[in-house]
Amino acid sequence: MVDGPALLKARFGIEQPGVEVPDVIAPLLDRRVVRRYTEQAVPDSLLDALLAAAQSAPAKSDLQQYSVVVMRDAPRIKQIADWIGTMDWIATAPVFLVWCGDMRRGQRLCELHDMPHANNNLDTFLNTAVDCSLAMAQFMAAAEAVGLGTCPISYVRGHIERVSPLLGLPSGVYPMAGLTVGWPVFRRPVSMRLPPSVVVHRERYNDNALERDVAAYDGRRREREPTAPGSLKNNDVYPPREGVGWSENVARQLSVPERFGFAAYLRTKGFDLA
C-alpha cells in the first residue's frame, strides 16, 4: 500500500489533505533526477522498448514532428559534457539522447507528394517543441518505471552551434534537450515543488496569493535544502550571499539573457518563426 500523504509531503513540504494517491501514480510523485550512473549497460532491447513508449506519446494532429538521436559512444558523449563544462557527470551516462524538434520530415513529405510546405512558422516551431517534449517525458516515465534514472539537459541549446554538427542535424531540425540515461548509483532526495495553490488555477487564472505562498515556499525549501552561495545563479552579476531563497535565485537567472541567439540560429536552420 502506497503512503500517499508521505509522498505528497515530500514533494510539496506541506500536507495535502483530501488528496488520494492511487498506487499506479505513486512512482510519478516519487520521481527523482539522477546524475550519477553505474557502468552497467542499458541493453538495446530495453532501450528500443523505451523509445517505442516515447513514440506512443500524443502528437499534434498526428504529425509526429520530432526525432531523437541515440548516443552511446563515450568519447562523443564526453565531448558534449566538456562543452557544457559544469556537468562532468554527463560523461558517466551509458546513453545520451538528444531530442530534436523536426520540421524537415514534414517538408520532405510535402515534396514527396508534390505539395508546398506552407506552415514554416512560429506555430510549427512550437508544435515541434511540444511533440518532442511529450515524447521525452513519456520516455522518462517509462525509463524510471524499470529502474533507470534520467536527467534532462537543456544546456545542449547553449552549445547548439557545436551539438548540431556533431549530430549531423540538417535544416529544419534542432536540438531541444539532451537526456542522460543509466542505472542510478544512488537516489537523490525528492525535489520540493511549488505548492499547488501557486500552479493550479480553477476556472480562471489568479495569482493574487503568489507573494504570500512563494514566501512560505522559500522558507520550506531553505530549511530542507539551503542554497549555497557558490551555487547561486549569475554570481558574476549579483554578489553571492547567504540565505538566498528559491524565488530570488530564479530572479537572478531570469534577469540575465540566456541563449539570446537561439532564434537567429533557428532561422539559419530554415525556420521562419513569423
Query: What CATH number is associated with residue 166?
Result: 3.40.109.10
Q: Are residues 215 and 241 in the same domain?
A: yes
Q: Are residues 66 and 122 in the same domain?
A: yes
Q: Is residue 272 part of a domain?
A: no
Q: Are residues 246 and 140 in the same domain?
A: no
Q: Is residue 265 part of a domain?
A: no
Q: Are residues 86 and 172 in the same domain?
A: yes
Determine the longest span between alpha carbons in the chain, in angstroms.
63
Q: Are residues 21 and 117 in the same domain?
A: no
Partners of 96 in beta bridges = 71, 180
Predicted confidence at residue 227, as pLDDT, reads 87
Predicted confidence at residue 260, as pLDDT, reads 82
Predicted confidence at residue 259, as pLDDT, reads 86
What are the distances in angstroms from CA 86 to CA 18, 89, 157, 167?
Answer: 42, 9, 14, 21
Predicted confidence at residue 16, as pLDDT, reads 94
Residue 189, amino acid: P
Q: Are residues 132 and 177 in the same domain?
A: yes
Predicted confidence at residue 230, as pLDDT, reads 86
Q: Are residues 152 and 125 in the same domain?
A: yes
Q: Are residues 99 and 19 in the same domain?
A: no
Q: Are residues 148 and 158 in the same domain?
A: yes
Predicted confidence at residue 169, as pLDDT, reads 97
What are the distances in angstroms from CA 49 to CA 54, 56, 144?
Answer: 9, 11, 13
- Domain extent, residue 248, equals 210-254
Q: Is residue 125 part of a domain?
A: yes
Q: Which three cell numbers stand for residue 112?
A: 514527396
Q: Is residue 51 part of a domain?
A: yes
Q: Is residue 41 part of a domain?
A: yes
Q: Are residues 144 and 215 in the same domain?
A: no
Predicted confidence at residue 274, as pLDDT, reads 83
Q: Are residues 62 and 179 in the same domain?
A: yes
H or E stretch covering 178 = strand 173-182
Q: What is the CA radius of gyration of the chain?
A: 21
Q: Is residue 192 part of a domain?
A: no
Q: Are residues 46 and 5 in the same domain?
A: no
- Total number of domains constituting the chain: 3
Q: What is the DSSP letter of 39?
A: S
Q: Is residue 193 part of a domain?
A: no
Residue-wise pLDDT tens for the chain (274 aa)? 789 999 999 999 999 999 999 999 999 999 999 999 999 999 999 999 999 999 999 999 999 999 999 999 999 999 999 999 999 999 999 999 999 999 999 999 999 999 999 999 999 999 999 999 999 999 999 999 999 999 999 999 999 999 999 999 999 999 999 999 999 999 889 999 999 999 999 999 999 999 999 999 999 999 998 888 888 999 999 999 999 999 999 999 999 998 888 999 999 989 999 8
